[in-house]
Amino acid sequence: MEDKIWTCIVKRLSCTETEESAAVLDEWLKSDAAHIEQYLEAKNLWKMTALIEPEVPAEDAAELIHNYQQEEPTNAPRRMSFWKYGIAAALTGALLLAGLQFFRQDKPQPVEWVVHKTEPGRMDTLILPDQSTVCLNAGTEIRFRKNFTSEKIRDVQLKGEAYFEVQHDKTHPFVVTSGDIKTTVYGTSFNIRAYPNEAEMSVAVNSGKVGVQHVPSGDTAIFLLPNDKLSLRNGQLVRSTLDKADVSSWAQGEMIFEQMPLRDVLATVARRYRVEIKAGTEDYGDCKLTARFKDQPLSAILKTLNISMNIAARQVNDTIYLEGGNCM
Amino acid sequence: MELHEFELIYKQWNVSLQKYAHYFLRDEEASRSIVNDLFLYLWFSKKQPDNCKVYLFRAVKNASLNYIKKHGNVPLLYVEDDRLTTLSDAIPEPGSPGIDSEKLQFLKRVISLLPERRQLVFRLHRLEGFSYAEIADLMHISVRTVEDHLAKSMQFIHAHAKHLVDGNLTEA
């Protein structure tokens, strides 16, 4: 029993949880207040582990290189033959596996971006080179420069939804660009939702102070504090307040829709449950849904759509066909 | 690349790579040799891999497996000593608690008491940022086993380090 719970706890903390494991964990959390305390302790410890610095080797690279160059010529062949069997062969193997270009010319390298994507239905945690953590929701893509830590600005590009916990560094602003929204922080935790095809983009703050710019409107930044949320809809910026738990509730398996156009609701559901949703000839453009789903199976969501909007659903393998609907 | 860039990469991954090599070789001297030789090769050949971390870990894996093939007598699978070291090694110095770096030091010590394989899984996930699937591939174990090791790691860490976060519980 203990083991199983810890497996579920770790799944939640590493954003790899399944409906099953979430259900088991929530059941356990509900059964005793002490369990909640335990979970929070585990969560805090988990976060602390992200702050651990790598151990430093006894000699530094300069010494290593220097010592090698000092060695007697007689030692060199031994080294080289070790390399021949060990490293060179290993690198050829690594090459075949990675398909890398072997030799690069010594010319200035264009700045390269590291890209990380999540599949529909999967969440993922990423640790950035500066030890910040990012929890990516389904169907999300994040990009950052290869030389992230040596640039003046910690530059990140986002398409989708992610919850950031940024390492504090007041000399290097952490900037996330997501469509028309630019979010700047020095060390805080916040959530950004910016799926390219959704009607609304938002930034919600969990801790610290966050600066948000709507790039087309100019350079003035709006500052958000914990529990603030800024939404961009039809070019308009709207500010609201959230419950702390709602800032990144998706990471705990909850879906919250607030006056969300049905089209976007369906896209979110499709990503989360890894299905395709076909609306046939219906255009749900004006339909807006306000609802909260925590650890519900897909059927419960479809039932809600049926009751509240008269939408009929039929599932064939991984595709849901929708019909009808008379929403306000 | 420049020496200072190389220095950063070296400092960041040398020890982790040695621990990873040791997982295969069970020999500290050989692990150190293989990893240092890799860095020397990287320096002198002036390579600039796209993804340093992945490149380094893959190269160490291949070099370690080649070394085993060549020297023959190192067991790849072995019975893991699951008995955990006593915690007395990890007790922090008496004095003012609550300074963050002291807490981290204590946490580090606790992690270092995990059995080797479990500790490696934990480090690869939490410190190096590898996914479960990547760890499974690096260590030739199943994703299920990775999950299991992580769950047991957290259980151990929680049991021994929860006092570090006492009285400090925010939902953040």
Report pLDDT for B100: 64
State how far the Cα of A319 lies from the Cα of A270, in Å rounded to an integer: 9
Which residues from B are below 8 Å from A44, CB to CB?
Answer: 165, 168-169
Q: What is the pTM of this model?
A: 0.49
Q: In this complex, do B34 and A87 lie within 8 Å of one another by their Cβ atoms? A: yes
Q: Is the pLDDT of residue A65 over 80?
A: yes
Q: Which residues pair with A261 in a beta bridge?
A: A288
CATH dotted code for A113-246: 2.60.120.1440
**How far does B12 lie from chain A, in Å, by closest CA?**
6
Report pLDDT for A221: 85
Q: Crossing angle of helices B28-44/B3-25, nearest 10°?
A: 150
The residue ranking higher by pLDDT, B172 or A259, is A259
Among all residues of chain B, which has the CA nearest to that of A114? B51
Check CB contact of B172 with chain A, cutoff 8 Å: yes
Check CB contact of B73 with chain A, cutoff 8 Å: no
Q: Average pLDDT, whole number, for chain A?
A: 80
Report pLDDT for B118: 93
Check CB contact of B66 with chain A, cutoff 8 Å: yes
Q: In this complex, do A54 and B16 lie within 8 Å of one another by their Cβ atoms? A: yes
Cβ(A240)–Cβ(A223) below 8 Å:
no
State how far the Cα of B55 lies from the Cα of B16, in Å rounded to an integer: 14
Q: In this complex, do A45 and B59 lie within 8 Å of one another by their Cβ atoms? A: no
Task: Identify which of B11, B107, B122 has the shortest CB distance to residue A57.
Answer: B11
A vs B, Cβ pairs < 8 A, gives: 171
* Mean pLDDT, rounded, for A264-291: 82
Which letter, b or e, does each residue of A148-176 get, where b requires 16 or more Cβ atoms within 10 Å of its Cβ? beeeeebbbbbbbbbbbbbbeeeebbbbb
Q: Is the pLDDT of residue A293 over 90?
A: no
Summarize pLDDT for A299-328 with one digit per residue, the tens: 888 888 888 888 888 888 888 888 887 764
> What share of chain A has pLDDT > 90, as a percent?
16
**How far does A216 lie from chain B, in Å, by closest CA?**
32
Report pLDDT for A102: 32
**How far does B133 lie from chain A, in Å, by closest CA?**
11
Summarize pLDDT for A151-203 with one digit per residue, the tens: 888 999 999 999 998 888 888 899 999 988 999 998 888 999 998 888 889 99
pLDDT < 50 positions in chain B: 75-99, 171-172
The residue ranking higher by pLDDT, A80 or A164, is A164
Which residues from A are below 8 Å from B19, CB to CB?
Answer: none
Q: Is the pLDDT of residue A86 over 70?
A: no
Among all residues of chain B, which has the CA nearest to that of A4? B151
The distance of Cα A32 from the centroid of its chain, to the nearest Å, equals: 30
Report pLDDT for A120: 78
Which residues from B are below 8 Å from A251, CB to CB?
Answer: none
Q: Which of residues 116-135 of B touch A (CB under 8 A)?
A: 122, 125-129, 131-132
Fold for the domain defined by A253-324: Phage tail protein beta-alpha-beta fold (3.55.50)
Q: Which of residues 236-295 of A touch B (CB under 8 A)?
A: 244-245
Q: Which of residues 135-154 of B touch A (CB under 8 A)?
A: 147-148, 150-152, 154
The ipTM assigned to this model is 0.78
Q: Which of residues 100-119 of A touch B (CB under 8 A)?
A: 100, 103-104, 106, 109, 112, 114
What are the structure tokens assigned to A6, written together? 């810890």
Check CB contact of B159 with chain A, cutoff 8 Å: no
Which letter, b or e, does each residue of A273-306 get, where b requires 16 or more Cβ atoms within 10 Å of its Cβ? bebebebeeeebeebbbeeebebbebeebbeebe
Task: Identify which of A48, A83, A104 has the shortest CB distance to residue B107.
Answer: A48
Judge residue A66's burial from the number of C-beta atoms within 10 Å of its C-beta, 0-12 exposed, 13-18 middle, 19 or more buried: exposed
Q: Evaluate the CA torsion angle A315, A316, A319, A323 in order and state its sign.
A: negative
State how far the Cα of A77 lies from the Cα of A240, in Å rounded to an integer: 69
What is the location of CATH 2.60.120.1440 in chain A? 113-246
Task: For residue A169, give the amino acid letter.
Answer: D
Which residues from A are below 8 Å from B119, CB to CB?
Answer: none
Summarize pLDDT for A93-132 with one digit per residue, the tens: 444 433 333 333 334 456 678 888 887 777 788 888 888 8
**How far does B78 lie from chain A, in Å, by closest CA?**
23
Summarize pLDDT for B50-91 with one digit per residue, the tens: 788 888 999 999 999 888 888 765 544 444 444 444 444 444
> Model confidence at A74, in pLDDT bands (50, 70, 90)?
very low
Report pLDDT for B74: 54
Q: In this complex, do B157 and A38 lie within 8 Å of one another by their Cβ atoms? A: no
State how far the Cα of A208 lies from the Cα of B40, in Å rounded to an integer: 43
